[in-house]
Amino acid sequence: MKKFIQRKKIAPLVSSSQKKYLQQLKRNKIQIIIWQISIFASFILLWEIAVRLRWIDGFLFSSPTRVFNMARRLLDDRIFFHMGVTLLECILGFLISTVLGILIAIGLWWSQKARKILEPYLIVLNALPKVALGPMIIVWVGIGMQAIILMTILICVIVAIISILNGFLNIDEGKVLLLKSMGATKFQILFRLILPGSLPNILSALKVNIGLAWVGTIMGEYLASRAGLGYLILYGGQVFRMDLVVTSIVILCVLAALMYLGVAILEKKLIKNYK
């Protein structure tokens, strides 16, 4: 009897209005998913109908059926090799640029003088079209994976530095002064306040850098590659095989979405532990 009373006391009380609110949130989430699936399915269906009724040229725009058949043929034509090459280049460029971005942002936060000196250069480098450096990159490291990874790093690292540094600088100055008044060293302030407080900003920068990493990887494969999805897209365009181009783009979208989903899951877990 006592156990029953204790359980009854411990059991959380949820009002009817809270239940309605939670149910409404669940319904909204389901509706959003249904709308997303419906829009995608409608686009695919309209695309196929437009090609079959000759509203658009199937040779130029391909079709879902042709993309599916091309994907089946590519399964026997080293498609996994090309996917693996592109994915490896993208992940390496993403990870290296992220680590460099965090380290350089920490250095610029640490030294206000260095930050003021280097800030104009960061702005100029961020505005520079990185594709203009393509010929120089090929001369520096040659044609191949190294050039593509370097291109990805150049595209991602400046954005990572600026985004993460802004997160560091937006930490409440009052909290920094409080830690200083308690005798905390700069090293302690960094690891006890700045990095934990900037975690949401760092994770947001990671999600932005995923898209930039794919842009850099495909751009690099356009310039200097012998394999990869970018190579297939470029080759398909040169020989007017639009089915190959569209199929490679679809595979690219799937890989990018999976990579983004992985970072989003990581963000949820880290933010949950942080709170």
Closest CA to 164 of 96, 92, 89, 99: 99
Do 48 and 139 fall within a single domain? Answer: no
DSSP string, 14-43: --HHHHHHHHHHHHHHHHHHHHHHHHHHHH
Mean local confidence (pLDDT), 111-125? 85
Confirm whether 30 is domain-assigned: yes
Query: Which pLDDT score is estimated for 92?
Result: 92
Q: Is the pTM of this model over 0.85?
A: no
> Which single residue is written with the structure tokens 């905390």?
184
Do 234 and 107 fall within a single domain? Answer: yes
Query: Which pLDDT score is estimated for 12?
Result: 52
Do 101 and 48 fall within a single domain? Answer: no
Residue 95: domain span: 77-270
229 contacts 252 by C-beta, under 8 angstroms: yes
Q: Given a cut of 50, is residue 136 above it in pLDDT? A: yes
Q: For 64-90, b where at least 16 C-beta lie within 10 A, e where not — what string?
A: eebbeebbeebeeeebeebbebbbebb
Q: How many domains are there within the chain?
A: 2
